[in-house]
């Protein structure tokens, strides 16, 4: 049995918006019968590649991505909110 579903986002993030709402919307477009239509999206794992110095809030905690690369391993944190301070190009992969 699988531990989760992988997804990704490649493009410019929207500033001051919970990107999990964007991810959920995109997942439902691709998989309209997904159980996500009945539940909140919670990420189990995430990796972000963006411009060095980008500021992001994860679950309300401000985190500077100093090197331009950030990753949380499987199960380290249940991510319910991902908000970028500014619109920046980013490559994001996640597991929910």
Instruction: Give, in order, the Cα–Cα distances in Å from 61 to each of 46, 55, 57, 80, 89.
Output: 15, 10, 5, 12, 21
- What pLDDT score was predicted for residue 19? 98
Give the pair of three-digit tokens for residue 72. 């949380």
Burial 77-86 (b: 16+ CB within 10 A, else e): eebeebbbee
- What pLDDT score was predicted for residue 31? 87
- What pLDDT score was predicted for residue 60? 97
Helices and strands (H and E) in the chain: how many: 1, 7
- What pLDDT score was predicted for residue 8? 96
Mean pLDDT computed over 62-87:
96
pLDDT per residue over 3-53, tens digit each? 788 999 999 999 999 999 999 999 999 988 888 889 999 999 999 999 999
- Domain ranges for the chain, please list them: 6-95
CB atoms within 10 A of CB 48: 24
For residue 80, pLDDT over 90 is answered with yes
Strand 45-50 relative to strand 6-12: parallel, antiparallel, unpaired? unpaired
Give the pair of three-digit tokens for residue 28. 């439902």
Give the pair of three-digit tokens for residue 18. 């919970």
pTM of the entire structure? 0.90
Using pLDDT thresholds of 50, 70 and 90, give the confidence band for residue 1: low
């Amino acid at each position: 049995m699988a531990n989760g579903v992988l997804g990704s986002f490649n493009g410019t993030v929207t500033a001051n918006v919970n990107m999990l709402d964007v991810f959920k919307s995109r997942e439902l477009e691709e998989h309209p019968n997904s159980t996500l239509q009945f539940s909140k999206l919670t990420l189990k794992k995430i990796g972000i590649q963006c411009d060095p110095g980008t500021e992001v809030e994860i679950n309300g905690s401000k985190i500077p991505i100093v090197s331009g690369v950030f990753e949380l391993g499987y199960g380290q944190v249940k991510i319910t909110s991902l908000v970028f301070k500014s619109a920046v190009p980013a490559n994001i992969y996640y597991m929910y």
